[in-house]
């Protein structure tokens, strides 16, 4: 079995997210820890989180995914930006302990001209400074489309980051289907081949979550424009194969498709559940 959910707004708190997820028959979810462009996070209300945990337990939720703001760039050229990444991630991980044992996903970052090697070094340094032995959260590196100077457009780059981090058991990877397709991995036509490559380079034990998005662009376009499932270059069949793939059993699958509202996600989840019935 797999867990299926979508990105939800955290603006109205944790309990509200659980209720929204349940209302569209989702059994996992993703949310931004704060405004996606950065800024301060809302104060955690332990009672709100308590009600969330009770609902998630009752409804058999899988692990949930918190997503770091897009502006977080651990390998920026600017020290101020790297400092923001450090402060934000440290604060987010402290807050994540209110919902223990879940995932914190971030974009590895853009090296903006410093070169891939320098970027990988800065990212792994940040992770070594931040990740603590006692944390229960697993930090996920997201696979990227390889747009501009983005790090993480190849499995090798993610493996190189993981290789330099000491507490590897606190690390994982979130595979975004739109991103890997845009990066040139043919996840639609050859899921077995791409997963074998992932296993060879990174190790499948690191694969903890899937972002399921179709793509507006052809294979290898390095663009990163998400499309609703079935309307893009990956196509419905590709998602039927992935959602039922034995190597992906038990993982949370999160939609980040351009739906206008919660009802749109509800319809998409219903379609996917029917597709794999
Ligand atoms: Fe992302
Ligand atoms: Fe994603
Ligand atoms: Zn994306």
Q: What is the pLDDT along the chain (277 residues), one digit of tens a residue?
A: 999 999 999 999 999 999 999 999 999 999 999 887 777 888 899 999 999 999 999 999 999 999 999 889 999 999 999 999 999 999 999 999 999 999 999 999 999 999 999 999 999 999 999 999 999 999 999 999 999 999 999 999 999 999 999 999 999 999 999 999 999 999 999 999 999 999 999 999 999 999 999 999 999 999 999 999 999 999 999 999 999 999 999 999 999 999 999 999 999 999 999 999 9
Three-class DSSP category at 105: strand
Whether 222 sits among the annotated catalytic residues: the reply is no
Cα distance between residue 146 and residue 223, in whole Å? 8
User: Is 107 among the catalytic positions?
Assistant: yes
CA distance 32 to 8: 8
- Sorted by where each starts, the structural domains of the chain and their CATH numbers stand as 3-275 (3.20.20.150)
Q: Which residues contact 43 (CB under 8 A, 6 or more apart)?
A: none
Please pick, among 107, 150, 214, 268, the residue that the annotation labels catalytic: 107
Point out the ligand nearest to the CA of residue 106.
Answer: 1
**Tokens in use for 79?**
């020290």
Ligand nearest to the CA of 179: 3
Catalytic residue among 7, 34, 82, 179: 179
For residue 140, what are its two tokens? 């996920």
Under DSSP, the state recorded for 125 is H
Please indicate whether residue 225 is annotated as part of the active site. no
Catalytic site includes residue 67: yes
64 Cα–ligand 1 center, Å: 14
Choose the catalytic residue: 157, 211, 214, 268.
Answer: 211
Q: Which residues of 164-189 are buried (b: 16+ CB within 10 A; e: fewer)?
A: ebeeeebbbbbbbbbbbbbbebebbe
């Amino acid at each position: 079995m797999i867990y299926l959910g979508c990105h939800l707004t955290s603006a109205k708190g944790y309990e509200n997210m659980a209720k929204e997820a349940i209302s569209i028959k989702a059994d996992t979810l993703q949310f931004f820890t704060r405004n996606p462009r950065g800024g301060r996070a809302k104060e955690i209300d332990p009672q709100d989180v308590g009600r969330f945990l009770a609902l998630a337990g009752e409804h058999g939720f899988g692990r949930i995914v918190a997503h770091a703001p897009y502006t977080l760039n651990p390998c920026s050229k600017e020290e101020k930006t790297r400092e923001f990444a450090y402060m934000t991630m440290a604060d987010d991980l402290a807050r994540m302990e209110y919902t223990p044992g879940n995932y914190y996903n971030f974009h590895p970052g853009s090296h903006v001209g410093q070169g891939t090697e320098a970027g990988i070094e800065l990212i792994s340094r940040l992770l070594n400074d931040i990740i603590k032995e006692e944390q229960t959260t697993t930090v996920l590196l997201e696979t990227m489309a390889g747009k501009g100077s983005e790090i993480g457009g190849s499995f090798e780059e993610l493996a190189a980051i993981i290789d330099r981090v000491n507490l590897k058991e606190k690390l994982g990877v979130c595979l975004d289907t739109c991103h890997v397709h845009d990066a040139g991995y043919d996840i639609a036509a050859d899921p077995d081949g791409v997963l074998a490559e992932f296993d060879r380079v990174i190790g499948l034990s690191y694969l903890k979550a899937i972002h399921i998005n179709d793509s507006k662009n052809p294979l290898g376009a390095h663009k990163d424009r998400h499309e609703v499932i079935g309307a893009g270059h990956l196509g419905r069949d590709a998602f039927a194969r992935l959602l039922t793939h034995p190597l992906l059993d038990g993982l949370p699958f999160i939609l980040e498709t351009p739906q206008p509202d919660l009802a749109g996600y509800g319809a998409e989840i219903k379609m996917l559940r029917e597709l794999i019935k």
